[in-house]
Amino acid sequence: MIFEELINHIKSNIGEDFIEGLDEQCSPKAVVVSAEKLLRLMGFLHADKECYFDSLSCITGLDNGVEKASMEVIYNLYSIPYNHHLTVKVNLGRAKPEIDSVTSVWKAADWHEREAYDLLGIHFEGHPDLRRILLPADWEGHPLRKDYKHQEYYRGIKVEY
């Protein structure tokens, strides 16, 4: 299905107001959805016979900086049998970034969400095991935030090199 067909299909099946906006500049083209409705939309996209997005390629967390005070989570979905693709974007507040985990839909989300939590401090509600994955458990802060300042010492080792 091409993008327009997909949008119409989603709207006619789970409601007009489900999609907040479209981003056609993005490649693959994207839909913007609110954090509360994400899990229902993802469940639909995964299970629906005509969408059938069986593969979640990538989850990207993104910090827009202190001024814009927002964060984003971006999901790249692909359907192997139909060979169509879609990007799903969610905007979050920067003060308390929280979003539903999609691990119940795709197991692939497990480590990607852990990575986003580790590097950006986005909390995924309902994730089975939300620990840091790349950094040590007692590291302070989330490096990919735009206002990140690394700690001076880590267990007595100077961090600045």
Binding site for another protein (CB under 8 A): 23, 25-28, 30, 54-58, 60-62, 74, 76, 80, 83, 87, 106-108, 110-112, 119, 131, 133-138, 143-144, 155-158
> Scanning the structure block, which residue is given the tokens 């994730």?
127
CA distance linking residue 65 with residue 145, whole number of Å: 7
For another protein, give the closer residue by CB, 12 or 83: 83
User: C-beta of 25: minimal distance to another protein in Å?
Assistant: 5
C-alpha neighbours within 13 Å on the C-beta side of residue 161: 1
From residue 38, how far is each of 99, 129, 135, 139, 154 by CA, in Å?
Answer: 8, 20, 28, 30, 37
CB of 12 to another protein, least distance (A): 27
- Considering beta carbons, is residue 10 or 114 the nearer one to another protein? 114
Q: Pick from 93, 141, 133, 87: which is nearest to 113 by CA?
A: 133
Comparison of 41 and 102: residue with beta carbon closer to another protein: 102
Rank residues 16 and 131 by Cβ distance to another protein and give the closer one.
Answer: 131
- Could you give the CA distance from residue 115 to residue 59 in angstroms, rounded to a whole number? 9
Nearest approach, Cβ of 137 to another protein (angstroms)?
5
